[in-house]
Amino acid sequence: MSRVNGSVLLVGSIPGNSAAEVIRFCATELGGRLSLFPDGETGFRKIWINYLAATIYNSNDALETINQPEPVNPGDPDEWRETNDHWVPKGYHDHWQFKVKQAGNVHFDELGYAKEAVASYQVFKQLREEGLVSNEQRFLVCMPMCESAVRPFLGQAGVTDYDEMSKAYTDAMSREIPRMLENIPASDLGIQWDICMEMLAVDSNDQHPALFPWAPRGGAMERYCDTVKTYSNFIPEETVLGLHFCYGDLGHKHAIEPQNLANATRIAAESVRAIDRSIDYCHIPVPRERHDDAYFEALSGWPENAGKLFIGLVHHTDGIASTRRRLETAQRHISNFGIATECGFGRRPRETIHELMHIHRQVADLL
């Protein structure tokens, strides 16, 4: 029996003030339609990889901050106010940027994900004791692999700095997951790799000057396969493994618009070949305006052994009718899948979330 059999996947970020608020809300709204509960990625994590820039890279002695959204005091992070969002870029044009001061000195003691996960898991357990979460449902932690976590922050710094930072990030990740497992049972945990820069690199073959003024060593697919194999080996078989293939969502815009799902299908197939353990699920995006067969037809070749497929076809902005239209097109090309939004929705206005959950319920119940 599949370990991920719910009809809905929550990709990661969800607006809320705390893990307790988010998990309680999701349990109430979606209940048994979920196999996995994220904690909403609240606070600094709501802007995805900028969490690393603001909390880890900016204060690292081996790195020089050469650009940032607004002036902050890196020596006193307690002065930052998350509600002021001084650490949040305004778009793809306004990212944090760093360079390595001296080769061989980059090291990250931790990445912060384990600390957040352990705290949120205690909330998850409490809500399970209250009966809001079942024993079959798991706690989900979503994290970027190194190309997503490092490459966007290096600008013109280039491949040498990338080698230094990605090595340090991978080393830190190899310790981050064991730290989680010291406090979270492996059988109660799901880990999702957020695969964005890797997906964009594969989709464009590294040929996008605005996003990629330089490229790491090796071909895009080769780099991805090497990394997803290494990172997935950090995760014990008892823990659910998910792959979220993403085209970006900063400012609710894709960094590259996917032409169709051919490259998502291809990278899923390569993932199956590369990873030494089972894959429990994959997630792929559907732009709001794509309800045509040409976008979905590659799914007829979706690989076996890639776990449950979740298709990110739920959009708040065009409601149930258009979401159903995308669903019906997808069903002409593949069966036995779940639904999701195309990315996390933590930056979405809170007043829209009840209706978004209503769309999830109505459409999931058609599966």
CB burial readout 343-365, b (16+ within 10 A) else e: bbbbbbeeeebeebbebbeebbe
- Nearest alpha-carbon partner for 181 in 136, 144, 142, 234: 234
- Nearest alpha-carbon partner for 55 in 111, 107, 95, 101: 111
Please give the helix or strand (H or E) that residue 197 lies within, else none: helix 197-204
The token duo for 30 is 């979606």
CA–CA separation, 326 vs 75, rounded Å?
49
- Nearest alpha-carbon partner for 296 in 336, 253, 326: 326
Contact 173, 111 (CB under 8 A): yes
- List pLDDT tens digits, range 153-165: 998 778 999 999 9
Instruction: Give the range among 137-146, 205-214, 267-276 with minimum mean pLDDT.
Output: 205-214
Q: How confident is the model at residue 68 (pLDDT cuts 50, 70, 90)?
A: confident
Domain ranges of the chain: 19-364
Q: Across the chain, what does the average pLDDT equal?
A: 91
Contact 8, 338 (CB under 8 A): yes
Tell me the longest C-alpha to C-alpha distance in the chain: 57
Exposed, middle or buried by CB within 10 Å (0-12, 13-18, 19+), for 336?
A: exposed
What is the architecture of the domain spanning 19-364?
A: Alpha-Beta Barrel (3.20)
Question: Which of 10-24, 75-89, 231-245 tops mean pLDDT?
Answer: 231-245
User: Is the Cα torsion angle 10, 13, 14, 16 positive or negative in sign?
Assistant: positive
Query: Dihedral through CA 216, CA 219, CA 308, CA 327, nearest 10?
Result: 90
Question: Quick check: 78 pLDDT over 80?
Answer: no
- Nearest alpha-carbon partner for 113 in 65, 164, 184: 184
pLDDT of residue 81: 45
Q: How confident is the model at residue 1 (pLDDT cuts 50, 70, 90)?
A: low
Query: Dihedral through CA 130, CA 136, CA 137, CA 142, nearest 10?
Result: 140
- List pLDDT tens digits, range 287-337: 999 999 999 999 999 999 999 999 999 999 899 999 999 999 999 999 999
Quick one: what percent of the chain has pLDDT higher than 70?
Answer: 92
Instruction: Give the range among 52-66, 116-130, 133-147, 251-265 with minimum mean pLDDT.
Output: 251-265
Please give the helix or strand (H or E) that residue 208 lies within, else none: none
Q: How confident is the model at residue 82 (pLDDT cuts 50, 70, 90)?
A: very low
Q: Where are the alpha helices (DSSP H) in 31-138?
A: 50-52, 113-129
Q: How confident is the model at residue 251 (pLDDT cuts 50, 70, 90)?
A: low
Question: Quick check: 127 pLDDT over 60?
Answer: yes
The token duo for 322 is 């258009």
Question: Quick check: 32 pLDDT over 60?
Answer: yes
pLDDT of residue 72: 47
- List pLDDT tens digits, range 171-200: 999 999 999 999 999 999 999 999 999 999
Q: How confident is the model at residue 252 (pLDDT cuts 50, 70, 90)?
A: low
Instruction: Give the range among 91-100, 162-171, 246-255, 280-289 with minimum mean pLDDT.
Output: 246-255
Q: How confident is the model at residue 362 (pLDDT cuts 50, 70, 90)?
A: very high
